Amino acid sequence: MKKFFSSALWHGLLWQAIGWALGASFVTLIRVLMGLKPFATFGFTEPAWVFGGLVGALSFLGGSGVLTDWFKWAKGEETHENHQDPDGWEKFINISLDHKVIGIQYTMAALLLLVVGGIFSLIFRTELASHGLQFLSLQWYNTLMSLHGIVMIIGILLGISGVINYIVPLLIGAHDMAFPRLNAFSYWLAPPAAILLLSSMALGGFDTGWTGYPPLSVRAPVGMQMFFLGVIVAGWSSVLSALNVIATVLRMRAKGMTAFRLPIFVWAAIATSIIALTATQEIGLSFQLVMFQRLFGMGFFDPAKGGDPILFQHLFWFYSHPAVYVFILPGLGIISELLPVFVRKPLFGYRWIAMSSLGIALVGFLVWAHHMYTSGMNEYLRVPFMYSTLLVAVPTGVKFFSWVATIWRGKVTGPYPTAFLFVLGGIVVFLMGGLSGPPNATVATDLHLQDTYWIVGHFHDTLFGGYVLPFFAAIYFWFPKATGRRMNEALGRLHFWLMTPSFIVLTLLMMRIGLLGMRRRIADYDPSLGFDPYHLVMTIAAFIIALSVLIFFINFFRSITKGEPATGNVWNSRSPEWQVPSPMPAHNYEQPFEVVGEPYDYGLADSVYVKFAEKKTGGRN
Amino acid sequence: MRHFVIVGVLVILVAALTYVGLNYMHLMPAEASAQSIPVDWLWNLDIDVISFLLALIIVPIAYSLVVFRRKKGDATDAEHIEGNTSLEITWTIIPLIVVLVFAYLGAYTLGEINVVDPSANEIQVKAIQWAWSFTYPEGFTSKELHLPVNKQVVLKMESGDVIHSFWVPEFRIKQDVLPGRVTDYRITPILIGNYMVRCAELCGASHSYMTAPVIVSSQADYDAWIAAQKASVASAGQTPEGRGGQLATSLGCRGCHTIDGSKLIGPSWQGLYGSQVTLSDGTTVTANDAYLIESISNPSAKIVKGFETAAPMPKFDLTDVQIQDLVAYIATLK
């Protein structure tokens, strides 16, 4: 406990609260001097809450100490080049500059948000188990549904950063990320962002879904503003961490690691970072405009003042569609990275898979208005967006066919390792998401499907198959690298076999009732539609998924100390990080390596991917 | 070679079974509009391709995992196959052609859906949180949408507040309803029956309940309904409470205020007139003319206890006579 109260996390939280109160009081004081109403429904007025929230987030950064080195530099003071972390668990709640520690921090924060977002969904899933309102009010239903969306999205972004941060420098042979302090800064933006998002619950919630469309978002309670602020702060984190990943991969690769000898996951990380770096600003901007419309009465999206609500949708989706590729490209990269290790065959069509990631990232920028076929935008615009949207199927298809060819004639050792099960599950569930996509892309069919449970089923499949299952695969796969121990395989398999079939049932039923008339985002449904039994089964499936996640956590925390020791190359992988003992030392490879072969030449005798430099003998041996 | 033949046969078998199974399930609701026919045609084509692609990916993976699994005592790696450029080109070009064909068909069916009948009836649709109202060419407003079968109608839709979306699942088509702009919804009902329009765009607390009946009937029944409505409107228009009742419908008041005592987002009007109302600050007032007039013209002046909602009642631009008509109507609801 003492360690917690002296941690950067605790100091940050404390300062966030203080900054929040000071900022809000400052605005209130000015309002008093100006003769405006100082207090409103939720204590402070809306401008006070917003300014306070912003000051609070900045205070968190100051209080946690993540800015300290930069302040020192500004004053001309020296800082240690090599940061030393403490040995215990407390390094994970303190500022660290080690990409591996930051990667684990991201991953733990992602898992925490996954649990929070999951609990939200369990609450309203239970509410939906039968028609009528059971225990939630309409406003609470909408708030929990909206928060489920955004908390999961932020959780996914953190999870991606976690895997990328941990593994990319190891894969390319770098001793750290290009900008370690910026890396820490990006991570430490996440906790205040999460606090801001969750604080919306105390300020009336918000009832717009994570899409925040005006004019509804202009009328929502103050909680809406906390949602906007939270997303803006989290987006900041995403932009900076993408910048860091791109710089790291461009500048810090091992000798001989040319573009087409990069591990395939690095290609996915690059593609996803390009999107995150260039598109995230758009969602921040669109939310900021609504924020200003609320605070200052600016009429950006108010038709009465010459504004246009559809403009918001364009701005919003210009980020938020590419964002789904930010979520899935790293997941697909994990699938491509792990498949060859388990099937003991080269990755089929390496260059095609690498280029398909870039292809998806590029085409992904040209499809945003397919979310708006029914919105009332210019009717003829729908046709070019239909063409561009369907084009995404081509590079996605290349990935699927290449995976099939990689698995074909592969020799997998049974019983399947848990990580391989999750890779397979990811392929199957993402395939379901992919195949339910084209009917949404063609305008005529989308006019029926838009805003129904069909869409809910579709995108849950893409995100679960494209992110959640590969994320678990990555955790089971690289857990020994981080801890020197393996996670329990029996519990891992139980986790998989409870989670994946339940999830498939859940989303298939979503699609089924969506086609028959179940709209998305409704707190209650018409009993005459006969959906009650479907919803009951879906609720049961959701609880089985929750149980499987609980089993995962038991396995995870137990294995840190009690797992079977695994310090060697447990997966018999060719990848450089497995050629050195686990857990990885603080500054990664003691000897630099040189790339001398192809990354996935499994089955080729005497071929190696990397060769480590001879150990220097400096006088003593 | 043998393996490819077996997998090929299995793919066709699984694709066919998937297709038959999906069709057997009747995935779509009834086809109640001329526009639903091209939509369902394209949908069925989608189902063909989905069934085939599902089999094409799943079957070889499953087959390979079973047939080529590692045999006991074998510690060697699998065959070193790096790739095959012609295969990669094949599975780039063929999907490219397929998606271009689908995009063309999508545009073509969209054209069929949008075919305009110049003699189409025009009905004005007003959406507000959380009610639909329909104004007919004959000059009256109803909470129900009545349509004659086999006759195209164009709905001229506008929202009074946030974005809503007009969706009748059996018609297949969906169109958002925007503030400050009129959007069109063109439909030709082909199946007599009772349906529901359900708001499909999240529009706030009572979004789930924003529905209205849609009745498709024969031309004769439709004409009879129109005539009956016109007659009742004419007689109701004679009295203040009659006019007030019509206003309550056309303005959408009843989307939030019931007349049967049940609770929606706003207080019910049943038995309201003359009763003691407890306000959110704990005081009580009598619901007399003055209170009701104030509550209509300035909704946030006094909030009833238990109705401190996130979305306050909007202000309506009404004349004094209209407000008095509404009060007279509320007074009749004992």
Q: Tens digits of per-residue pLDDT, B9-36?
A: 999 999 999 999 998 888 999 999 999 9
Tell me the pLDDT band of B49, cut-offs 50, 70 and 90: very high
Is B100 exposed, middle or buried (CB count within 10 Å of its CB: 0-12, 13-18, 19+)?
A: middle
To test the contact with chain A by mutation, choose from B6, B82, B170 the residue with the greatest count of A C-beta atoms within 10 A, namely: B82
Smallest CA-to-CA distance from A481 within A595, A340, A585, A337 is with: A585
Band of pLDDT at residue B234, cut at 50, 70 and 90: confident
Contacts of A360 in chain B (CB under 8 A): none
DSSP-derived secondary structure letter, B78: -
Q: Looking at per-residue confidence, does B258 or B65 come out higher?
A: B65
- Torsion-angle region of A212 (φ positive above 0: left; ψ -120 to 50: alpha; else: beta): left
Count Cβ atoms within 10 A of the Cβ of residue A209 and give its class: 0-12 exposed, 13-18 middle, 19 or more buried: buried
At residue B51, the pLDDT reads 94
C-beta atoms of B29 and A352 within 8 A? no
Q: Which of A303, A386, A445 sits opposite B43 (nearest CB)?
A: A445
Q: Residue A620: is its pLDDT beyond 50?
A: no
Q: Which of residues 485-544 of A touch B (CB under 8 A)?
A: 512, 515-517, 519-526
pLDDT at B116: 92
Kindly indicate the confidence band of residue B310, based on its pLDDT and cuts at 50, 70 and 90. low
DSSP string, B173-196: -EEEE-BTS-EEEEE-B-S-EEEE
Task: Tell me, yes or no, if A568 comes closer than 8 A to chain B by beta carbon.
Answer: no
Nearest to A408 among B64, B175, B196 (CB): B64
pLDDT for B192:
95
Distance from CA of A526 to the nearest CA of B (A): 9
In this prediction the pTM is 0.91
**C-alpha distance from residue A53 to each of A20, A122, A400 (Å):** 5, 28, 45
The whole-number pLDDT of residue B311 equals 63
pLDDT of residue A317: 92
Give how far B155 is from chain A: nearest CA, Å.
Answer: 14
Residues 43-102 of A with CB under 8 A from B: none
Residues 6+ apart with CB under 8 A from A589: A173, A175, A576, A580, A612
What is the separation of C-alpha A69 from the centre of its chain, rounded to a whole number of angstroms? Answer: 28
Please indicate whether, in this complex, the C-beta atoms of B39 and A220 are within 8 angstroms of each other.
no
B158-182 pLDDT, tens digit per residue, is 998 899 999 999 999 999 999 989 9
CB-nearest to B99 from A205, A208, A390 is: A390
Q: Do A394 and B92 touch (CB under 8 A)?
A: yes
Quick one: which of B285, B286, B287, B296 has its CA closest to B320?
B296
Helix-then-strand count for chain A, H and E:
22, 4
Q: Which residues of A touch B91 (CB under 8 A)?
A: 397-398, 401
Tokens of residue A216, six digits: 């509804």
Question: What value of ipTM does the predicted structure carry?
Answer: 0.90
- Report the pLDDT averaged over residues A439-447: 93
Give yes or no for a contact between A51 and A27, defined as CB atoms under 8 angstroms apart: yes
Q: Say if strands B193-198 and A593-595 run parallel, antiparallel, or are unpaired.
A: unpaired
Kindly state the helix (H) or strand (E) to which residue B6 belongs, with its residue range.
helix B2-24
At A72-91, the pLDDT tens digits run: 989 998 887 767 777 788 88
CA distances from A88 to A3, A83, A93, A175, A393 (A): 10, 15, 10, 22, 47
Please indicate whether, in this complex, the C-beta atoms of A414 and B70 are within 8 angstroms of each other.
Answer: yes
Q: Measured between beta carbons, which residues in chain B are less than 8 angstroms from residue A437? A: none
Q: Phi/psi zone of residue A195: left (φ > 0), alpha (ψ -120 to 50 degrees), beta? A: alpha
Q: Is A409 on the interface with B (CB under 8 A)?
A: yes
Give residue-wise pLDDT tens across range A350-399. Answer: 999 999 999 999 999 999 999 999 998 888 899 999 999 999 999 999 99
Per-residue confidence (pLDDT) for residue B289, from 0 to 100: 84
Contact assignment for B106 to A207 by CB distance below 8 Å: no
Judge: A219–B311 Cβ closer than 8 Å, yes or no.
yes
Which whole number is the average pLDDT over B292-303? 84
Cβ distance A348 to B181 less than 8 Å, yes or no, reads: no
The minimum CA-CA distance between A551 and chain B, rounded to whole Å, is 27
Q: Cα distance from B325 to chain A (closest Cα, Å)?
A: 28
Least confident of A443-452, A502-511, B163-172, B230-239: B230-239
**Contact: A343, B114; criterion CB under 8 Å:** no
CB B143 within 8 A of CB B134: yes
**What pLDDT sits at residue A82?**
67
The residue in chain A having the minimum alpha-carbon distance to the alpha carbon of residue B158 is A376
pLDDT band for position A35 (cuts 50, 70, 90): confident
Q: What is the distance in angstroms between the Cα of B243 and the nearest Cα belonging to chain A?
A: 29
Q: Which of B72, B162, B165, B199 is the best mutation test for A, with the most CBs of A within 10 A?
A: B162
Residue pair A197/A210 in contact by the 8 Å Cβ criterion: no
Please answer whether residues B52 and A366 qualify as being in contact, where contact means their C-beta atoms are separated by less than 8 angstroms: no
A514 and A456 Cβ atoms separated by less than 8 Å:
yes
Band of residue B262 on the pLDDT scale cut at 50, 70, 90: confident
The residue of chain B with its CA nearest to that of A340 is: B78
Contact (CB<8Å) B57/A400: yes
Nearest residue on chain A to B102, alpha-carbon basis: A442
DSSP secondary structure letter of residue A517:
T
Contact B39 A445 (CB under 8 A): yes
- Report CB contact under 8 Å: A448, B161: no
* Whole-angstrom distance, CA of residue A151 vs CA of residue A231: 10
Do the Cβ atoms of A170 and A577 come closer than 8 Å? yes
- Dihedrals phi, psi of A205, to nearest 5 degrees: 70, -170
- The pLDDT of B323-330, averaged and rounded, is 86
Q: What is the pLDDT of residue A238?
A: 93
Residue from A218, A378, A381 nearest A303 by CA: A218
Nearest of B163, B305, B204 to residue A205 by alpha carbon: B204
Q: How far is A363 from chain B (nearest CA, A)?
A: 13
**Residue B332's Cα: distance from chain center in Å?**
34
Q: What is the mean pLDDT of chain B?
A: 89
User: Is A305 part of the contact surface with chain B (CB cutoff 8 Å)?
Assistant: no
User: Residue A554 — pLDDT band, cuts 50, 70, 90?
Assistant: very high
Answer whether B106 sits within 8 Å of A386, measured CB to CB: yes
Distance from CA of A540 to the nearest CA of B (A): 23
Q: How far is A8 from chain B (nearest CA, A)?
A: 37
- In this prediction, residue A617 carries a pLDDT of 58
Higher pLDDT, residue B287 or B172: B172
CB–CB of A450 and B208 under 8 A?
Answer: no
Within 8 A of A220 by CB-CB distance, chain B residues are: 310
Distance from CA of B128 to the nearest CA of A (A): 12
Q: Is a pLDDT exceeding 80 seen at residue B309?
A: no
Confidence at B242, pLDDT banded by 50, 70, 90:
confident
Mutation choice for B interface testing from A360, A403, A448 by most B CBs within 10 A: A448
The minimal CB distance from A435 to the residues B50, B202, B205 is found for: B50
Chain B hits for A344, CB-CB cut-off 8 Å, are 77-78
How many Cα atoms are found within 13 Å in the side-chain-facing hemisphere of A100?
Answer: 21
Residue A609 CA: distances (Å) to CA of A84, A254, A337, A593, A599: 31, 12, 14, 10, 5
pLDDT of residue A621: 42
Count of helix runs (H) and strand runs (E) in chain B = 7, 12
